[in-house]
Amino acid sequence: METAYKAIQVADGVYWVGAIDWGIRDFHGYATTRGTTYNAFLVMADRITLIDTVKAPFQDELMSRIASVVDPLDIDYIVSNHSEMDHSGCLPQVIEAIEPEKVFASTMGVKALAQHFHMERGIEAVQDGQTINLGNRNLTFVETRMLHWPDSMVCFLSESNVLFSQDAFGMHLASSQRFADELSREVLEFEAAKYYANIVMPFAPVVLKTLDRLRKLNLPVEVLAPDHGPIYRKDIPWIMGLYSRWANRKPTRKAVVTYDTMWGSTARMAAAIAEGLVAGGAVVKVMPLSASHRSDVATEVLEAGALLVGSPTLNNNLFPTVADVLAYLKGLKPAGLIGAAFGSYGWSGKTAAQIAGLLAEMKVELVGEPLEINYVPDDEALTRCHALGLQVAEKLNQVCKG
Ligand code: FEO
């Protein structure tokens, strides 16, 4: 017997018909330790409308949840708010199965879907601010380009007062509970921050513009329905406030020290630097890359004021895990950081200088010179490491006061 999945009502005439991916642990390089959901929503208006679909392997779950409310063949419209394949992967198959009268996407979404799926079926472009009539409901589209793809848009359903926000305000969290107010606030804040840091952080100016636009539109949003994780009905100002705080990014006294090590020298340097940071009044998070995933480093950097990176020298180059985390962080564009570079070497190599160059490319303001130690640090070398930590902490204190 096929599993019969049930839809869950999230507002008047609106049902969650998405899928729960309990097992995913790697979402394009992001460690999704709590799994995720791909949210899709069925609007039971006069013109029955499906908002987004799910990742391709979850098509049967989507169709089963829809069928618990209505015959999928009765769906009139499909809206694709975002064409990334976790939300559109089964769109061509769903279109073929139910043959809706119309499929809508943003102008850029129409292009992106064509480039993904090469479908013959036409998709109708909706414009920023356009409203379509569903009979007893209206659906209004607001483009949110680069939050976080060029095609991204959100839509607001009148009468039910639901804002379908695609990836924005989402999180990777698989749970049987569908609403944020049924889950621990601590878990929600951690996963929302992780999602923001790893997906949304490069687009902070767009976040601020979008929050401002939504404020000015003054939509009476009672339910905020993102495409991942729980749905908000009581905590909408809370999650929007977090986005505003993260996008505005004020400096803090927190310093992230991340490194890898071969024979323990860089680890000893990191420990002495961390002690110097603490002595100077910083709050420190030490993240050895043998035990820290790149996406967790990004999460810690989100509300940090300083980033210190260390590497041993391997074949005259950076240690691979250090190169990985720097490439990843560079793409996420954390703003307003100060930092420092350190490392150890044997007979050649200037890895600390290499790290300093990469941090400078990330617009991290460097404190002190890159600190390099030959082979194993002695007491004098560890004193220099401690002093570098202290120097960064003092600079952090100045930045935070200013
Ligand atoms: Fe959840 Fe950008 O896709």
Q: How far is the CA of 340 from the centre of ligand 1 (A)?
A: 33
Question: What pLDDT, on the 0 to 100 scale, is given for residue 231?
Answer: 98
Q: How far is the CA of 104 from the centre of ligand 1 (A)?
A: 18
Q: What residues in the chain have per-residue pLDDT under 70?
A: 1
Q: How far is the CA of 167 from the centre of ligand 1 (A)?
A: 5
Over residues 94-148, the pLDDT tens digits come to 999 999 999 999 999 999 999 999 998 889 999 999 999 999 999 999 999 999 9
- Its pTM surpasses 0.95: yes
Q: Which of 288, 301, 351 is nearest to 331 (CA)?
A: 301
Question: What pLDDT, on the 0 to 100 scale, is given for residue 1?
Answer: 65
Closest atom of ligand 1 to 152 CA is 2
Question: What pLDDT, on the 0 to 100 scale, is given for residue 402?
Answer: 75
Over residues 308-339, the pLDDT tens digits come to 999 999 999 999 999 999 999 999 999 999 99
Of all protein residues, the one whose alpha carbon is nearest to atom 3 of ligand 1 is 84
Closest atom of ligand 1 to 199 CA is 2
Give the phi and the psi of residue 355 in degrees, each rounded to 5. -60, -45
Please list the active-site residues.
28, 82, 84, 86, 148, 167, 195, 228
